[in-house]
Amino acid sequence: MTIRVVVELLRIAALTFAAGYAIRRRNMTIWILWSMFAGIELGLDAPSFALQLHVFSDIFLRLIKAIVAPLILGTLISGIGSHGSLKEVGRLGIKSLIYFEVLTTIALLVGLAAINISRAGVGLQVPASANNKNAGLALPVQQTSPQSIPKWDQFLLHVFPENIAKSIAENEILQVVVFAVLFGLALTRLPDESRLPMLTVAQSFTKAMFQFTNLVMFVSPLAVGAALAYTIAHSGSGAILGLAKLVATLYGALVAFILVGMLPAALIARVPIRRFLAAVAEPAFLAFSTSTSEAALPIAMENMEALGVPENIVAFVIPTGYSFNLDGTAIYLALASVFVAQAGGIHLGWKTQLVMLATLVLTSKGVAGVPRASLVVLMATAASFRLPVEPIVLILGVDALMDMGRTAINVTGNCLASVVVARWEGKFAPSSTRSALTDVNPPQECHPE
């Protein structure tokens, strides 16, 4: 008994010391990690108190739900409408988008396969709140009876909105996506004097939603701690094992994607593998260490040009890929979505999972600049497929660990895309590569976070 008390006191002292460190750093990721451990401590040592904390995670989920539909509406409209004309994209754009969509689909399939093999969420049994019981929208997936699966024509009809305000109010995400795509395409058909004012409004609205997201994310440490405390008090310490399995599943899936997605693409395009790895090593490590794709963008573009990719292709493919070729994020979204269903005790058939995959291809576009963008997309997927939202808050607790790996793959995938498209265009000139990439980026240089 004495040993147990000593261990508890040591844990509390460690949390107190970590809190002081977090206060000095003022870093959201550090606060989320601290809240995760604090929630585990409360769930283990004060379960009766922890059971009362669920309201804080519910508040956070309500605020996130308020973001999803408007944010997806604004990002898709501004992203599609900004092209001015579909012809403007041209041959280079078409080839890039084909490559992006093929690799993204492979990434999503790898993610689905990985989570179905590991079954990391099975047995977690996160209890759903009363507020979430009627949150489902487009596709009832609880496979309790054959009647719960709609016919294809019913599903297809339901995807198209009849009233966009009603779709947003009822959180019908697929309907919002369809409306946004069609509206964005309609903008491209307008002359500039009519298109640009509406595009300016859409872009301003989207930026405002980004700031709204920033404000909501200040609540995330409290939500993560409360959700973990409640879950452990209710279901025991199995939640920790489930989250650890989720992190391991993601990194296993990232390795698998490199072997079945990136490597075949590089071999087919006759990419010089060793020189490419030397060129991509620095931006990939920078992305991994900072969990920020933007931090690695300048050095990635510079190194790809040094490798022999023409400047105009680098300038088009890599920035475009930041919205359309997020392979690491695609893997994460696929496995996290099924993890949410598994944690909620919901069985998803393979047909439903393929429909979910097609949905993620659309909903994952255009939100790359949103802090914790994956959280928004996961919430949209949960709303579309009647999945419980409580496990999403738990995932946020380990999101920082997973974000490093998926960001590194995002950057590496975009660099590879620039080489593949350049080779496809017949403009890749490895002979023009500088004798050593270290001439461009000396080893002694340090790129701060």
Q: How far apart are CA 247 and CA 214, in angstroms?
A: 25
CATH number at residue 434: 1.10.3860
For residue 22, give its domain range.
2-439
Is the residue at 266 inside a domain? yes
Structure tokens of 373?
Answer: 């963008």
Report how many domains make up the chain. Answer: 1
Is the residue at 444 inside a domain? no
Q: Which of 246, 245, 249 is nearest to 257 (CA)?
A: 249
Q: How far apart are CA 340 and CA 283, in angstroms?
A: 32
Is the residue at 226 inside a domain? yes
Is the residue at 230 inside a domain? yes
Distances (CA, A) of 437 to 139, 156, 248, 432: 51, 51, 33, 12
Q: Which of 148, 125, 117 is nearest to 351 (CA)?
A: 148
Q: Which of 162, 161, 137 is nearest to 150 (CA)?
A: 137
- 89 Cβ contact partners less than 8 Å away, ≥ 6 residues apart: 83, 97
Is the residue at 447 inside a domain? no
166 neighbors 174 (Cβ within 8 angstroms) = no
Is the residue at 411 inside a domain? yes
Q: Which of 73, 360, 382 is nearest to 209 (CA)?
A: 73
Is the residue at 306 inside a domain? yes
Q: How far apart are CA 66 and CA 446, in angstroms?
A: 41
Q: Tens-digit pLDDT profile for the chain (449 aa)?
A: 567 666 667 777 777 777 777 777 777 767 877 887 888 888 877 888 888 887 888 888 788 778 878 877 887 787 677 665 555 456 667 888 888 889 988 999 999 999 999 988 887 766 555 444 433 333 433 333 333 445 667 767 877 888 988 888 877 777 887 888 888 888 888 888 888 899 899 889 988 887 887 788 788 888 878 887 887 777 666 677 888 899 999 999 999 999 999 999 999 999 999 999 999 988 888 788 667 676 677 788 888 988 988 887 887 788 777 767 888 888 998 999 899 888 888 888 888 888 888 878 776 665 554 545 677 778 777 877 878 877 887 787 777 788 888 889 999 999 999 999 889 888 888 754 444 444 444 444 434 33
> Please, what sign has the CA dihedral across residues 340, 341, 343, 344?
positive
Is the residue at 367 inside a domain? yes
